[in-house]
Amino acid sequence: MILESVEHGPLLWPTVKENGVTRSKKYSELSATKAIQADCDVKATNIILQGLLLEVYALVSTHKVAKELWERIQMLMQGTSLTKQERECKLYDEFDKF
């Protein structure tokens, strides 16, 4: 369920109409399945944040939803892999010239 939070987005909290006013349900009002999913959303976000370098954490810590957080990190890290590939290419070129 944690991976589901990352891949498909957070739980869409159900609403309830009370005295003519529509509001999101409280955590205590959720069904057992929905409560577990809400917990998994929080756990997924925490797991992702705990594994980040401080520099990356500073850039993404404002995201509260695991899916958005993960997408932002992937976008940031793409540059890292491209830079790594460029360095490898340069090293191979230098080695070939040797």
Number of Cβ within 10 Å of residue 12's Cβ equals 9
pLDDT tier for residue 65 given thresholds of 50, 70 and 90: confident
* DSSP structural state of residue 21: E
Number of Cβ within 10 Å of residue 42's Cβ equals 14
pTM over 0.75: no
Query: Based on C-alpha coordinates, what's the Rg of the chain?
Result: 21
Rounded Cα distance between 85 and 87, Å, is 5
Q: What is the mean pLDDT of the chain?
A: 83
Q: What is the pLDDT of residue 84?
A: 72
Rounded Cα distance between 5 and 39, Å, is 10
Rounded Cα distance between 87 and 11, Å, is 41
Which residue ranges make up each domain of the chain?
Answer: 2-97
In tens, the pLDDT along 4-50 reads 766 777 777 888 898 999 999 888 999 999 899 889 888 888 888 88
% the chain with pLDDT above 90:
4
